[in-house]
């Protein structure tokens, strides 16, 4: 029942996502689709870790699924993080550099 | 007729300068722009395949090491270059045609930017010199900023400025990476660098070589609008004039494949390179489509979808097999045409309604049936519905990832296609099928006929590529076989 309430609450929270304009059925349906798509695709992408280690892939997939579902709605959070603010864009550019460096440092072992 | 190879860059570049210089003479400017734009798709189709050495400096054979060195800036023209240069040339012609027919008084500087951008991407895909590629990459970035800033849409200046600021991070990183490569190999010619890497003259495990990959890769992310630059890329598309956005996305796609093909030739010995490409491609697909689903501004929605589609191209390249890279490059060609159709079609709706919010639109099917049907087919092509061109390339990508042993990627690609379909059906319903809102006034506002003609031309290409994909894929596959 708690999960049901949480899902129902998601719809209410989508109202804020489209404010100040009206919220239509199509917009809410689109947002719910985006929510489900985001969770499923991230979990699916995590399975790719099986090429590194099967146990790691299983653990990461399970933990990711639980974390993502427990934190719905994700789309409003994602959307806020990806607005046209230059500060956020610069922040994520730096994060990306860090990701590339991480890949290079540890990924170099696979050369 | 290998003399035509440099003309593919020189003609639009000279035209840009001449048109800008004589922009006071409106009729002359219009006539010149039309003639030059018409030549752009013809030159690559009339040219023979081959190499062009600037300054006439032929390659030199080192008799001691038996290695060939390339002292000149070299342009390489094969089927791949031909199809993409002809494609962007045709699109430039169509965009210039829309622009010339839409405005009575044309702007010389705006036409200058359009031709400059076309010249820059043409040079990027032709060149075999990594520094030459970087110079035109910079010119392209400036042309893109100019095209966005020149539009009459609110906040276009702000978005152009943000794009330039982010470029001031991405571009120096790439230049630094190129500098490291030069330090390691003593050359900026890609063939020479590849020879040095494959002959063991460069230690691929050296931190400098890995660092050069990281830096050039970051610059590539900026050029192609993959995360974290997907937000700004979709932003600049939405703030440009519709025909400008159609051309901008083609510039993005061609600069993306130009840089990644050079990177692939140099770094394909490093497995981490392909992992990086696949990682950021997956991220682009997921973020692009999920953000497109929540947009109410349909220009922004197409912008995010365009970014998501870039992920498919990256996926093909990242998988690294001949079939996968062919699929990725075919997807690139399809994206250029399909997204251009969508930008121009939705731009026509903006033109007719002065509205970009899907919540305030409705009932447009009755008002603009031709535009709506062509947009519907374009949207279906983007989602990968048979027998359209998008279906063929996406099917190839799904098959490629399955044959590479990554069924997860196949499922993900299919899911992204389905989500793209949902985005399009939702937008199409709200704009064209639901009842017209009372506040929406449509009297006396028509879609320019030139836009409908251009959409028709693009639609024919989409259908032809969908029915006869082999016309393109065989040639691309031969090219890919050559670089592997």
pLDDT tens for residues A65-93?
A: 999 998 888 888 888 888 888 899 999 99
- Could you tell me which residues are beta bridge partners of residue B346? none
What residues 55-84 of chain A have any CB closer than 8 A to a CB of chain B? Answer: 75, 78-79, 82-84
Taking an 8 Å cut-off on Cβ atoms, the answer to whether A37 and B228 are in contact is no
Query: Do A92 and B210 count as a contact with CB atoms less than 8 A apart?
Result: no
Strand partners, B69: B60
Distance CA B162, CA B148 (A): 11
Min distance B293 CA to chain A CA atoms (Å): 5
Place of tokens 């639901």: B434
CB pairs under 8 A between A and B: 135
With 50 as the cut, is the pLDDT of residue A111 above it?
Answer: no
* Higher local confidence (pLDDT), B298 or A7: B298
Task: Centre a 10 Å sphere on the Cβ of residue A79 and count the other Cβ atoms it contains.
Answer: 16
Peptide bond into A73 cis (omega under 30): yes
Termini Cα distance of chain B: 27
Q: Which of residues 406-465 of B touch A (CB under 8 A)?
A: 406, 408-409, 411-412, 415-416, 419, 422-423, 426, 429-430, 434
Residues of chain B neighbouring A102 (CB-CB closer than 8 A): none
Pairwise CA distance, residues B30 & B50, whole Å: 34
Q: Give the pLDDT of residue B251.
A: 96
Residues of chain B where predicted confidence (pLDDT) is lower than 70: 1, 443-444
Mean pLDDT of chain A: 83
**Beta-carbon contacts of residue A21 (< 8 Å; ≥ 6 apart):** B296, B357, B359
What is the ipTM metric for this complex? 0.88
CB neighbours of residue B225 within 10 Å: 29
Q: Over B400-460, what HEC string results?
A: HHHHCCCHHHHHHHHHHHHHHHHHHHHHHHHHHHCCCCCCCCCCCCCCCHHHHHHHHHHHH
Q: Which two tokens stand for residue A60?
A: 């990461």
Query: pLDDT category, A3, cuts 50, 70, 90?
Result: low
**Which B-chain residues 321-350 have CB contacts (< 8 A) with chain A?**
none
The 3-state DSSP class for residue B226 equals: coil
Rounded distance between C-alpha atoms, residue A108 and residue A105, angstroms: 6
The yes-or-no verdict on residue A6 having pLDDT over 80 is: no
Q: CA B225, CA B306: separation in Å to the nearest integer?
A: 10
Taking the C-alpha atoms of residue A61 and residue B432, their distance in angstroms, rounded to an integer, is 41
Q: Assess B213–A contact: CB distance below 8 Å, yes or no.
A: yes
What integer pLDDT is reported at residue B200 of this predicted model? Answer: 87
Question: Which of B162, B406, B434 shows the shortest C-beta gap to A86?
Answer: B162
- Taking an 8 Å cut-off on Cβ atoms, the answer to whether B296 and A18 are in contact is yes
More confident residue, B193 or A8: B193
Look at the alpha carbons of B247, B248, B249, B251 in this order and tell me if their dihedral is positive or negative.
positive
Per-residue pLDDT at A51 exceeds 80: yes
Measure the CA–CA gap between B187 and B70, rounded to whole angstroms: 9
User: How many of the other CB atoms lie within 10 Å of CB of B6?
Assistant: 16
How close are the terminal C-alpha atoms of chain A, in Å? Answer: 50
Residue A38 and residue B419: Cβ atoms within 8 Å? no
Pick left, alpha or beta for residue B51 (phi over 0 → left; psi -120 to 50 → alpha; otherwise beta).
beta
A98 in reach of chain B (CB within 8 A):
no
- The structure tokens listed for B236 are 């600049």
Element (H, E) at A59: helix A54-70
Q: Is the pLDDT of residue A20 over 70?
A: no
Query: What letter does residue B28 receive in the DSSP assignment?
Result: H
Instruction: List, for residues B138-151, the tens digit of each pLDDT value.
Output: 999 999 999 999 88
SS3 B24: coil
Nearest chain B alpha carbon to A29: B426
Two tokens, residue A12: 């209410």
Q: Residue A1 has what pLDDT? A: 55
Question: Residue B276: its chain A contacts at CB < 8 A?
Answer: 100, 103, 107
Q: Scanning every residue of chain A, which has its alpha carbon at the shortest distance from the alpha carbon of B408?
A: A44
Tokens matching residue B88: 């962007």
**Beta carbons of B166 and A21 less than 8 Å apart:** no
Phi-psi region for residue B419, left (φ > 0), alpha (ψ -120 to 50) or beta?
A: alpha
Q: Longest C-alpha distance within chain A, in Å?
A: 54
Tell me, yes or no, if B279 comes closer than 8 A to chain A by beta carbon.
yes
- Contact between B129 and B193 (Cβ < 8 Å): no
Residue A108 sits at the chain B interface (C-beta within 8 Å): yes
Q: Compare CB distances from B276 to A33, A75, A100 and report the shortest one's residue.
A: A100
Cα distances (Å, whole numbers) of residue B403 to B98, B179, B276, B304, B483 = 43, 37, 20, 29, 20
| Option in A22, A33, A100 nearest B359 (CB) | A22
Of the pLDDT bands very low, low, confident and very high (cuts 50, 70, 90), residue A108 is: low
């Amino acid at each position: 029942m708690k999960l049901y309430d949480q899902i129902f609450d998601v719809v209410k929270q989508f109202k804020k996502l489209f404010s100040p304009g009206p919220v239509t059925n199509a917009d809410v349906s689109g947002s719910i689709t985006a929510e489900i798509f985001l969770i499923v695709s991230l979990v699916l992408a995590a399975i790719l870790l099986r090429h590194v280690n099967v146990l790691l892939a299983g653990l990461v997939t399970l933990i990711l699924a639980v974390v993502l579902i427990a934190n719905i709605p994700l789309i409003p959070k994602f959307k806020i993080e990806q607005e046209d603010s230059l500060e956020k864009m610069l922040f994520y550019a730096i994060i990306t550099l860090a990701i590339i460096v991480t890949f290079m440092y540890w990924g170099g072992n696979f050369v | 007729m290998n003399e035509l190879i440099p003309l593919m860059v020189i003609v639009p570049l000279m035209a840009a300068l001449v048109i800008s210089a004589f922009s006071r003479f409106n009729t002359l400017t219009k006539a010149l722009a039309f003639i030059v734009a018409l030549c752009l798709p013809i030159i690559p189709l009339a040219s023979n395949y081959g190499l062009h050495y600037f300054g006439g400096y032929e390659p030199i054979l080192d008799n001691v090491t038996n290695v060939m060195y390339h002292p000149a800036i070299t342009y390489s023209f094969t089927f791949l270059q031909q199809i993409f240069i002809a494609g962007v040339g045709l699109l430039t012609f169509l965009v210039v045609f829309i622009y010339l027919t839409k405005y009575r008084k044309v702007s010389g500087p705006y036409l200058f930017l359009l031709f400059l951008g076309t010249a820059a991407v043409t040079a990027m895909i032709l060149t075999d010199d990594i520094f030459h590629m970087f110079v035109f990459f910079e010119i392209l970035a400036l042309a893109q900023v100019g095209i966005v800033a020149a539009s009459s849409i609110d906040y276009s200046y702000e978005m152009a400025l943000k794009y330039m600021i982010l470029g001031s991070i991405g571009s120096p990183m790439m230049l630094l990476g190129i500098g490291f490569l030069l330090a390691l190999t003593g050359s900026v010619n890609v063939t020479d660098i590849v020879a040095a890497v494959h002959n063991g003259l460069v230690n691929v495990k050296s931190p400098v070589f890995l660092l050069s990959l990281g830096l050039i890769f970051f610059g590539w992310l900026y050029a192609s609008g993959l995360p974290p630059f997907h937000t700004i890329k979709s932003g600049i598309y939405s703030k440009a004039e519709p025909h400008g956005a159609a051309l901008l996305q083609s510039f993005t796609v061609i600069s993306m494949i130009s840089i990644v093909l050079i990177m692939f030739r140099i770094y394909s010995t490093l497995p981490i390179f392909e992992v990086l490409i696949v990682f950021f491609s997956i991220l682009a697909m997921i973020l692009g489509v999920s953000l497109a689903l929540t947009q109410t501004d349909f220009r922004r929605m197409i912008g995010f979808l365009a970014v998501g589609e870039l992920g498919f191209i990256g996926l093909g390249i990242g998988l690294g097999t001949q079939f996968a890279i062919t699929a990725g490059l075919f997807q690139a060609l399809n994206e250029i045409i399909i997204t251009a159709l969508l930008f121009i079609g939705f731009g026509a709706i903006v033109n007719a309604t002065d509205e970009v919010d899907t919540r305030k639109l409705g009932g447009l099917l009755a008002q603009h049936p031709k535009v709506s049907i062509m947009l519907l087919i374009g949207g279906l092509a983007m989602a990968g519905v048979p027998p359209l061109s998008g279906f063929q390339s996406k099917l190839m990508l799904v098959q490629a990832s399955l044959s590479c042993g990554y069924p997860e990627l196949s499922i993900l690609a299919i899911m992204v296609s389905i989500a793209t379909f949902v985005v399009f059906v939702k937008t199409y319903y709200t704009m064209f099928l639901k009842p017209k809102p009372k506040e929406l006034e449509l009297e006396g506002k028509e879609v320019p006929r030139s836009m409908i003609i251009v959409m028709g031309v693009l639609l024919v290409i989409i259908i032809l590529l969908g029915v006869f994909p082999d016309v393109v894929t065989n040639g691309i596959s031969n090219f890919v076989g050559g670089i592997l």
